[in-house]
Structure 1
Amino acid sequence: MKVILSKILCSFVFFMISFGLSAQDEIMGSVSDQNNQPLPGVNVVIKGTSKGTTSDFDGNYVIAIADFPVILVFSSIGFTTKEVDVKGPGRIDVVLQEGVALDEVILVGNRSKPRTIMDSPVPIDNIGVNELKNTGQPTVDKMLTYKVPSFNATTQAISDGTAHFDPADLRGLGPSRTLVLVNGKRKNLSSLVYINDTPGKGEVGVDLKSIPAAAIERIEVLRDGASAQYGSDAIAGVINMVLKKNVEYTTVGITSGITTEGDGFNFAADFNSAIKLNENGGYLNLTFGYYEQEKTNRSGEPGADGLFGVPADDPTWGPWLSAHPDLGMNIGQPEMQKADVFLNAGVPFKSGNGEFYAFGGLTYRKGKSFALYRPPYWIPDPHNLLHEPGTEYQGFQPTFETDIRDNTMTVGAKWKLIGFDVDLSGTYGRNAVNYDVNNTLNPALGAGSPTSFDVGSYTFSNTLGNLDFSKNMGAVNIAFGAELRGERFTAMAGDPASYIGGGAQSFPGLQPSNVVEATRDNYGLYGDLEWEPTDKLLLGGALRYEEFSDFGNNTSWKLNGRYLLGDNLGALRASYSTGFRAPALHQIYLSNIQTLVSGGTISNQGTFNNVDPIIRDGLGVPQLTAETSKNISAGFTFKPVTNLSIAVDFYNVKIDNRVLFTNEIGFDGDDSANNPVEEILIDNAITSLKFFVNAVNTNTTGVDVVASYKNLKLGSGVLAATIAANFNKTKIDGEIGTPPLLAANGYEIFNRKEQSRITTSRPKSKVLLGFDYNIQKLNFALNNTYFGEVKWDHATDPLNDQTFAGKVITDLIVGYDFSSKVSATLAINNLLNVYPDELEPKGDVVTDLGGRFKYPWEVNQFGFNGTIISAGLAFKF
């Protein structure tokens, strides 16, 4: 395979080099600020076109020009744009003054050159560090939720490991279909599969809590299919975290907050600084961060237990219910402590022809969430394991505790070779989670039962090698390259005491039969071409071939185009692409036993992996293979006046062979001879089973709207206003692919509830209206976020469905600069103390688990913490 890859690469390189040897005059020079400091990443564009380049790490740039005279436009975020008349080839050094850039430059979306948001052929959001801070949110996933309408992430309660990862998705397409990059390099997935009843059930995502906000310069969100450029997972889009490099100041931030209910206290501290490594522009940017939060509790208070049929006036348990109307529950955000260390470094070659670079970091996180409280009538404790002898037994609430480590590191070099920009890099990323279940017992062990259990662990890692070439040749921009990737997934068993008999209450440990060490590798080749036949018209295309060691190959392609409406007026744009997502190793090899509670019945559910003979041979479930997609988008950008910009983009994404996690498949309830499914259940001492299978085609249609107005003089200050919205609808196309044996025995594998999890569990509409007002030393940010309605469907009975109305969350953030070095922030998130609609039992205890849940738990728009007030100080030195 490697020999073939080498031959293809050599041929491709030779062809592209030969293709690029055309005569071009060059303008070169440097860009610096008014303090004579070099400015990296400055956009240098030929006015009236999108032909250009960016300054390198020490502020130098080179741009090829076919015909003179031209006007060069120099722009960078935070600096005033400057235009320079150029009569002929030579050297031009430019100084930019501090100010406000009109069009932010983005790197993601094409492999050949950076562009501005307004002239990009695909929709991209560019979110700077100040915008992230002005959400008042503590972690990156929450920041994006309140800045990008099509992005959603919410904390989950009573959901085992999922409570510590918060499934996040883009355009309602699930966590698995958004590719996350750091400085343009693929970020590793988390080791957890979301197997609980939450949005994203059965999927795998990136642990977005593992990237500290203090290390980030900006976040680019590409809202378009990009598998042809970046590979697997980029069906919904790409999120690129761009890390800070050279910074002028060392910054230290301290923030603390609490809910108006008096719980959920949080504290954060971060440090960011850059060290100059040499006189040639070498740098080392370091970030250290710490964050902790305490639990919140918003449980219901039914005063009776509908789940176990215990009324409030029960002669035996009535007094206990009266003393514990909330049934002992703790439902809300989990406890968490998190520490981060990140770096981003670059060292230029002595020749000035390139640089060595390295970036990455380590996040260590501990968390504690809570399971269902076990009242004394549920689990007896005759051996005084969880209460003192002589005291009255009150029941217990198991805790689910996690120990999470996420680390990533990329090293590489960039240089020029025969006019090409070359980037060679290696990346290693790993996510590991260890589980402990505490304050519980294993009834099967009697008096010998521990009360704390190690219930097992998961790890996932990937190793990547990337080689990328790109070149700007006037009207043509080309890029091509290759990627080698190896992946590894492991599952380790828990202590025997955690799984013997029925196992530890709330979460039986992983058993020896669940242990796995699975690996696979793949390689990919891609080419990217952009052609600008005129100053206004851009045509582009990309092609990618990937081959996986476990299921085969895939070829994806993309076409896009853009037509400029005139000088700074905007553009028309459209794209069509095919995409794919390889099933995660976790989805192929995960197996476990999970405790279920329904209608007073306690049962164990088995998840069987896709390579298990029980599933493949016994039930006829086919091998998992890649999902494929077709993505079309069309829209426009418009800039009628200098400070007003508008972008509207329509999209349609069709996904075939979507990997899903089935509903519970159990006994059919009749008294006839056991069918094949029931024989499996009996042989494995479980009451139901689940598995992963390619079985659903979905069709998602939507529109994104972004409009912003900057630099509006209002009194003595300056106002910026933004309105952004996403409207989407997902439906299931055609029949669900139920394996023939299961269909013949009357089983459905994806019932109404599971279908609604991918069609209505996320808001179909989300609108952000934000105002940012600066007046002297004060800054006011007022953000209003409308989360549209969500719907929960009952597995079998439409009468028990429930719709939760849309709500507006208002956030107010006030900042004050005491000096150029010291500033303070006051944030009030959810200013009006808005909560989701309350659950309606509707005669089915599954909806609210007998009154334990006050607010929806399987569909969750924005959480249910209520108002949070926080304050912070920032220091520069």
Structure 2
Amino acid sequence: MKQKLFKKNMFLFFLMAPLMLLAQDVVKGKVTDSGLGDPLPGVNVVIKGTTTGTTTDFDGNYELSVDNFPSILVFSSLGYASKEMQVTGPTTLNVAMDESATGLEEVVLLGNRSKPRTVLGSPVPIDNIGVAELKSTGQPTVDKMLTYKVPSFNSTTQAISDGTAHFDPADLRGLGPSRTLVLVNGKRKNLSALVYINDTPGKGEVGVDLKSVPSAAIERIEVLRDGASAQYGSDAIAGVINMVLKRNVEYTTVGVSSGITTEGDGFNFAADVNSAIKLGEDGGYLNLTVGYYNQEKTNRAGTPGEDGLFGVPANDPDWGSWLAENPDLGMTIGQPELEKMDVFFNAGIPFKNGNGEIYTFGGLTYRKGKSFALYRPPYWVSDPYNLLHDPGTTYQGFQPTFETDIRDNNATVGVKWKLFTFDVDLSGTYGRNAVNYDVRNTLNIVLGANSPTSFDVGAYSFSNTLGNLDFSKNLGTVNIAFGAEIRGERFTALAGESASFAGQGAVSFPGLQPSNAVEATRDNYGLYGDLEWEPTEKLLLGGALRYEDFSDFGDNTSWKVNGRYLLGERKGAIRASYSTGFRAPALHQIYLSNIQTLVSGGTISNQGTFNNVDPIIRDGLGVPQLTAETSKNITAGFTFSPLTNLSFAVDFYNVKIDDRVLFTNEIGFDGDTANNNPVEEILLDNDITSLKFFVNAVNTNTTGVDIVANYKNIAIGAGSLGATIAANFNKTEIEGQIKTPSLLAANGYEIFNRKEQARITTVRPKSKILIGLDYNIEKWNFILNNTYFGEVKWDHGTDPLKDQVFAGKVITDLILGYEFSQKVSATIAVNNLLNVYPDELDPKGDVVTDLGGRFKYPWEVNQFGFAGTIINAGLSFKF
């Protein structure tokens, strides 16, 4: 009752909040590049010590109302050194800005609700990555760009993994996709609809669909590498990624690119348009982005010429000729086919008196994908009714395809104004991700001649609705911020058509059954406070406190303290933070259930995933209700700029997570055919061979260090060189005993075996080093990036002798750029210049490791994919 009353009062407050304020004194002017004299659009102009500000328009003009004089205006823009100018009254103030000498001077908004700070001045480590830096990686999507720009971030293409192949799990600091909070313009981005339930990194987790925000719409990305649950709420255990959208831009930009691998597959084509228009004469803007991307499949299957999985030798009297004609066993293993379209917008309209603005932003992404399942040779699955082959021809088997329709949309509407000297931000956000599945080129054996060859196997969707109210104020040496958030979430699973789950279901992926269909909701509210104190110009002390109450499992309180001390005349600082955090289990993890096809030891079987509210799990097996993970996060480091163009940042961190939500290994028959234990009774009753479920059962301890060094504007000949070295070293260990429910433990079951433990400790690189060189001379730009992905380790479920280590490798990327004019430029990117592949799989006597030779490269651990060299060429036009 109290929760409902609180929400009602919050909504009444939202509706009654005053929006009209008295006129104030105005400072206006123009901002230009000090070297070229060109106007600079999109420059942030902020009253120091507040969040009140504006941005320059297309012509570099700005206009800002100021409460009190004298005041200091801070001018900041990515790539330029921030500048402070004092104003003593209404005036016209023109400003010329210099290119940034060091990345420590770049201004960031993340991690601090009270006022903007530089990377140097922040008490926690933050990366500030501009769109030019993202594009300098030569990668096609945001998740891959971040992989080659942020050492502690990883995302790689997955193969033969059903829906996971279309989302590519991404994580920060090796802590899994679920523990990184993603924001767009500072507002929470919705999770994807998919749970990664296949044998890939991030198994059992839920993340944000990072393919759903086009790079052409992004001005910069801020990456906070520190626990931030006390500031932003659930999911921020590993850190926060904030995607800042473009606002005013001087030109309409059209980009086109195309590429292909040196193997002749994986052809891709991309096109995007970004533009902005003025809204009124007071600095209003509307930025629009439209994008299209298409990629074809790649194939790097093994060619064993025999099938160890089913025990069919190369000289088999019945199938030897088929194996000779199909040494790769018909497989297609690599990146999926994909077609994607995006529409994004970002708009703001200032009040007439310049004392606030109404803003809105959001976008829609739609993409279709096709990935491939295991090929069904003719000795595995028969087709006696000629459903998948032409009459009169010899049956060759078939390869089912897993096809997706994915829609991701989000929109935010808000207003900023000043109320009783407080800066106020009131907003509402809605976000949704939905995926529909079709399995094609397959059949359902039980339906015989009446079987379809394509099936609608079901759909998932997830949405959230948020209301945020934030207050902030500068009180001289003290900055305060506080606010509230209301969030509602909805997870939906829809059953497939009846033919998809009849009997054993469609070959390769049985459809979701009516018993798997669900519509689950929950809501929560949160209250937070944030305080910063600067007793001297050098010393900063801060703290934050957040309380959240969830309708389905209870409440949580998180807190954080941090500090920063600026070093002498040389620019630099020492900094540290300690925080507690939490992550609420995703609705998907609580309510997901399905039947999944498994292949093991030459047999095909169905595995059941039971949700956490199912009586079979809660009462039958004694699995407790899912609750929040909790964490303790320590970060300590320093920044240092001994020379004008040289900067260093080193940060150590330790993250302890208790009651981590995990997805168990397969729990099946124990081999005792004389007696059935309680687990086996459940398997028999549900006609499955194994089961899985989600449970809070593991504590982990992650220790690591992030190192970043930048040296810019090094004069070499007639050109200028920039050099970057960035590295991450980390180690995750499981602490204490795995919390196995007593009934399962009493019957000798292991719920998280060696292979699953390795999935959270060794399947992501423990070290990653980026070395980048960027040389500009006249109209040419040369970029050489070397990225070292450290070794990864795959553990066998029960036999240590079958474990395998995959050595670290260096991926070299070369990007050449040329400016034909100020408005036309071209780029050629060669990714993986030296055609480096991961170590090949060694089956070590276990045919499941490489599925009888079908896989040449590792598929359950994945450092950087296995597409080989990719050559891309692009053109950019401005007008």
Q: Distance in 1 between matches of 2:830 and 2:498?
A: 48
Q: Which amino acid aligns with 2:735?
A: D
Q: State the distance in 1 between where 2:719 and 2:865 align.
A: 35
Query: Partners in 2 of 1:4 and 1:864 — Cα distance?
Result: 53
- Whichever residue aligns with residue 565 of structure 1, its letter is L
Give 1:22's aligned residue: none
User: Which of 574, 577, 587 is the equivalent residue of 1:575?
Assistant: 577
Q: What residue in structure 2 maps to residue 451 of structure 1?
A: 453
Judge which range, 517-526 or 97-106, deviates more.
97-106
Q: How does 1:616-635 map to 2 (within 5 A)?
A: 616-635=618-637
How big is the shift at 1:74? 4.2
From 588, 591, 609, give the equivalent of 1:589: 591
Aligned with 2:212 (options 207, 210, 229): 210
CA distance in 1: counterparts of 2:47 and 2:565, whole angstroms: 17
Aligned equivalent of 2:568, options 566, 569, 573: 566
Q: 1:562 to 1:8 in 2, by over 3 A?
A: farther
C-alpha distance 38-470 of structure 1, shift in aligned 2 (>3 A):
farther
Q: Equivalent residues in 2 for 1:608-757 (5 A)?
A: 608-757=610-759
Q: Which residue of 1 aligns with 2:863?
A: 861
Q: Tell me the residue number matched to 2:77.
A: 76
Q: Aligned equivalents of 2:475 and 2:496: distance in 1?
A: 59
Return the letter of the residue paired with 1:76.
S
Structure 1 counterpart SS, 2:55: coil
Other-structure match for 2:414:
412
Distance 2:405 2:72 in 1: 56
Q: Which residue of 1 aligns with 2:55?
A: 57
Q: For 1:549 and 1:83, how far apart are their aligned partners in 2? A: 47
Cross-structure match for 1:436: 438
C-alpha spacing 1:72/1:210, structure 2 compared with 1 (3 Å): closer
- Residues 64 and 354, structure 2, Cα contact 8 Å, conserved in 1: no
Contact 1:79 1:96 in 2 (8 A): no
Structure 1 residues 457 and 304: alpha-carbon distance in aligned structure 2, compared to 1, 3 A threshold = same
- Give the Cα separation in 1 of the matches to 2:12 and 2:475: 20
The change in CA–CA distance for 1:792 and 1:771 in structure 2 (over 3 A counts) is: same
Q: Distance in 2 between matches of 1:568 and 1:43?
A: 26
The letter of the residue matching 2:430 is Y
1:773 corresponds in structure 2 to: 775
Counterpart-to-counterpart distance in 2, 1:489 and 1:81: 44
Matched, 1:806 2:804: no
Cα distance, 1:216–1:423 mapped onto 2, change above 3 Å: same
Residues 1:643 and 1:93: Cα distance change in structure 2 (over 3 Å)? same
- Aligned mates of 2:629, 2:73 — CA distance in 1: 45
Q: Aligned-pair distance for 1:100?
A: 3.6
Distance change in 2, residues 1:121/1:9 (3 Å): farther
Alignment of 1:503 with 2:505, yes or no, is yes
Q: Corresponding residue for 2:17?
A: none
C-alpha displacement at 1:98, in angstroms?
5.8
Q: Distance in 1 between matches of 2:47 and 2:815?
A: 36
Aligned residue type for 2:689: T
CA-to-aligned-CA distance 1:82-128 (integer Å, 9 cap, x gap): 46577x67757231246346421111011111111111100000000
Moved more, 207-216 or 470-479: 470-479
CA-CA distance at 1:62 after TM superposition: 7.2
Q: What is the CA–CA distance in structure 2 between the aligned matches of 1:45 and 1:783, rounded to whole Å?
A: 39
- List aligned pairs for 1:142-153, cutoff 5 A: 142-153=144-155
Q: Aligned with 1:680: secondary structure?
A: helix
Q: Give the whole-Å Cα distance in 2 for the aligned partners of 1:80 and 1:852.
A: 54
Displacement, 1:5? 6.2
Q: Kindly tell me: are residues 85 and 517 of structure 1, through their superposed partners in 2, closer, same or farther at Cα, counting changes over 3 Å?
A: closer
CA contact (8 A) 1:80 1:96 kept: no
Tell me the secondary structure at the aligned position of residue 822 of structure 2: coil
- Closer, same or farther: CA 576–5 of 1 in aligned 2, 3 Å: farther
Contact 2:227-2:236 within 8 A present in 1 as well: yes
Per-residue Cα deviation, 1:180-232 (whole angstroms, up to 9, x for no partner): 00000000000000000000000000000000000000000000000000000
Corresponding letter in the other structure for 2:99 = G
* 2:731–2:761 Cα contact (<8 Å) kept: yes
Cα distance in 1 for partners of 2:804, 2:150 equals 27
1:94 corresponds to: 94
Distance 1:29 1:636 in 2: 37
Q: Helix, strand or coil: the match of 1:130? A: helix
User: Does the 8 A contact of 1:82 with 1:96 survive in 2?
Assistant: no
Counterpart residue identity of residue 708, structure 1: N
In structure 2, C-alpha distance between the alignment counterparts of 1:617 and 1:41, rounded to whole Å: 60
Distance 1:386 1:610, change over 3 A: same
**Structure 1 residue 671 displacement after superposition:** 2.8
Contact 2:50 2:473 in 1 (8 A): no
In structure 2, the CA distance between the partners of 1:74 and 1:433, relative to structure 1 (3 Å rule), is closer
The partner residue of 2:140 within 138, 161, 174 is 138
After superposition, the C-alpha distances for 1:836-876 in whole angstroms (9 at most, x for unaligned) are 00000100011100000000000000000000001000000
CA 1:537–1:640 in 2, change beyond 3 Å: closer, same or farther? same
Query: 1:385 maps to what in 2?
Result: 387
Contact 1:76 1:101 in 2 (8 A): no
Segments of 5+ residues of structure 2 without an aligned counterpart are: 14-23, 57-61
In structure 2, how many angstroms separate the alpha carbons of the residues matched to 1:823 and 1:463?
Answer: 42
Structure 1 counterpart SS, 2:190: coil
Equivalent residues of 1:54, 1:114 under 8 A apart: no
Is the 8 Å Cα contact of residues 42 and 54 (structure 1) preserved in structure 2? no
1:480 to 475, 479, 482: 482
Q: Secondary structure at the match of 1:586?
A: helix
Q: Is 2:240 the partner of 1:241? A: no
8 Å Cα contact 1:64/1:473 also seen in 2: no
Unaligned runs of 5+ in 1: 12-24
- Cα distance between partner residues in 1 of 2:740 and 2:129: 43
Decide whether the 8 Å contact of 1:27 with 1:63 is kept in 2.
yes
Per the alignment, residue 523 of structure 2 pairs with 521
The aligned amino acid for 1:832 is L
849-858 vs 56-65, greater mean Cα deviation: 56-65
Gap change, CA 1:766 and 1:628, over 3 Å in 2: same
Residue number in structure 2 paired with 1:114: 116
The aligned residue for residue 367 of structure 1 is 369
Confirm or deny that 1:33 pairs with 2:48. Answer: no
- State the shift of 1:65 in Å: 9.1
CA shift for structure 1 position 44: 6.0
Q: Distance in 2 between matches of 1:479 and 1:90?
A: 28
CA contact (8 A) 1:43 1:76 kept: no
SS in 2 for 1:566: coil
Tell me how far apart the structure 2 counterparts of residues 270 and 539 of structure 1 sit (CA, whole Å).
44
- The aligned residue for residue 852 of structure 1 is 854
Q: Deviations over 1:221-265 (max 9, x none)?
A: 000000000000000000000000000000000000000000000
Query: Structure 1 residues 177, 716: CA separation in 2 closer, same or farther (over 3 Å shift)?
Result: same
Give the partner amino acid of 2:54.
D
2:790 match: 788
Q: Secondary structure at the match of 2:567?
A: strand
Q: How far off is 1:277 after superposition?
A: 1.2
Deviates more, 1:347-356 or 1:326-335: 347-356
Which letter maps to 1:835? Answer: Y
| CA distance in 2: counterparts of 1:530 and 1:61, whole angstroms | 26
- CA 1:26/1:248 → structure 2, altered by over 3 Å: closer, same or farther? closer
Residue in 1 aligned with 2:547?
545
2-structure distance, mates of 1:300, 1:137: 26
Whether contact under 8 Å (2:610, 2:693) holds in the other structure is yes
Q: Residues 274 and 239 (structure 1 numbering): CA distance in 2 closer, same or farther, change over 3 Å?
A: same
- 2: CA distance between counterparts of 1:31 and 1:587? 52
Is 1:154 aligned to 2:156, yes or no?
yes
- Please give the alpha-carbon distance, in whole angstroms, between the structure 1 residues aligned to 2:731 and 2:201: 15
**2:41/2:248 contact within 8 Å kept:** no
Maintained 8 Å contact 1:629/1:655: yes
* Cα distance, 1:425 vs structure 2: 0.5
Assess if the C-alpha contact under 8 Å between 2:82 and 2:107 holds in 1. no
Contact map agreement 2:101 2:644 (CA 8 A) in 1: no
Kept after mapping to 1: 8 A contact 2:706/2:728: yes
Query: Please, which of 335, 338, 350 is the counterpart of residue 337 of structure 2?
Result: 335
The answer on whether the counterparts of 2:45 and 2:54 sit within 8 Å (CA) in structure 1 is no
- Equivalents in 2 of 1:73, 1:459: separation in Å? 43
* Cα deviation code 1:45-94 (max 9, x no counterpart): 97xxxx5767413534578999x9x99764432445546577x6775723
